[in-house]
Amino acid sequence: MASAQVTGSTVDRVRTDPPAGRSGRARDWAEIQERMLVPLYQDVYRRLEVGAATSLLGVGCRSGLALLLAAGRGAQVAGVEADAGLRELAAARGLQVSPGGRAEAVARSAHPVPRPAHSLVTVFEQPPAPALVARSAERTLPGGHLVVAAWGPAERCESAAVLEVARRHAPLDAPDPFAASGPGALESLLAAAGTRPSGSGRVACPFAYAGLDSAVRGLLSTGLFDRAEEAAGAALVAKELAEALHPYLRPDGSVRMANEFRWAVGTKPRG
């Protein structure tokens, strides 16, 4: 992971140079932010007993860490990711991730022929868009499972105060990160996509960073601040984000925020 630049005992310098390009943001995601969601991935895979009999499609798989974890359990994995920079990083991890379409490339699989449908499809994108969930259901085998995930309630997520920076500057039509956090929201998405809600879980996903600089870079790599940057400018958003993170600084200069994520699974009917 990229190291933070620490000055003194509590605060490190936030860079004021122009924001990273798309490739830089992709690398920040892979090196800083992606690991924060490992507890979510592991909880889903454990509860659904992902293993050698699983054919998994990760929709919006980013740089592929979730796919690697599933492959490590013996699953046949495939990925879809729109961002070219993230796909390049997935390729560097030995994964073949496609930009989408009817045939996704299969990575780390004993069956090299792309599958039209899968026994497990995951949508770990935040927040999950109804249209994306519906398209993902089409790629789920009858009797298979579709998983969607979202932030937990804002009052259980310390990062909610930080995400307020994005809400304050983004246009009114920007997605709300907590839109699917309410009771039954994920289950409603699954039902609308034609699956039968059949389970759910809650998992702690603390966001922990080496320092303030890495925290800002990691959070910006999520894409949740993109609309705010377009409207208010990247420099202002980065400055206010750093200020919002100060309450979560620790004496050693690290940053830690407790968060909860929710996930739900739907089963696609047979016949």
User: Kind and range of the H or E element at 264?
Assistant: strand 260-267
Between 127 and 4, where is the model more confident? 127
Q: What is the pLDDT of residue 100?
A: 74
pLDDT digits (tens, 9 = 90+) for 212-270: 999 999 999 999 999 999 999 999 999 999 999 999 999 999 999 999 999 999 999 99
H, E, C per residue of 54-121: CEEEEECCCCCHHHHHHHHCCCEEEEECCCHHHHHHHHHCCCCEECCCCCCCEECCCCCCCCCCEEEE
Reading the block at residue 266, the tokens are 């739907």
pLDDT digits (tens, 9 = 90+) for 85-141: 999 999 999 998 999 754 444 444 444 445 679 999 999 988 899 999 999 999 999
pLDDT of 14 higher than 70: no
Domains in the chain: boundaries: 6-267
Contact (Cβ atoms closer than 8 angstroms) between residue 146 and residue 190: yes
Q: What are phi and psi of 95, to 5 degrees?
A: -105, 150
Torsion of CA 89, 91, 97, 103, to 10 degrees: 160
Q: What is the pTM of this model?
A: 0.87
Q: What is the pLDDT of residue 22?
A: 58
Spatial neighbors of 26 by CB under 8 A, at least 6 apart, are 63, 83, 85, 86, 88, 89, 221
> What percentage of the chain's residues is helix, strand, coil (to nearest 5)?
40, 20, 40
Contact (Cβ atoms closer than 8 angstroms) between residue 19 and residue 238: yes
237: left (phi over 0), alpha (psi -120 to 50) or beta: alpha
* CATH numeric code, 6-267: 3.40.50.150
- List 265's β-bridge partners, or say none: 147, 199
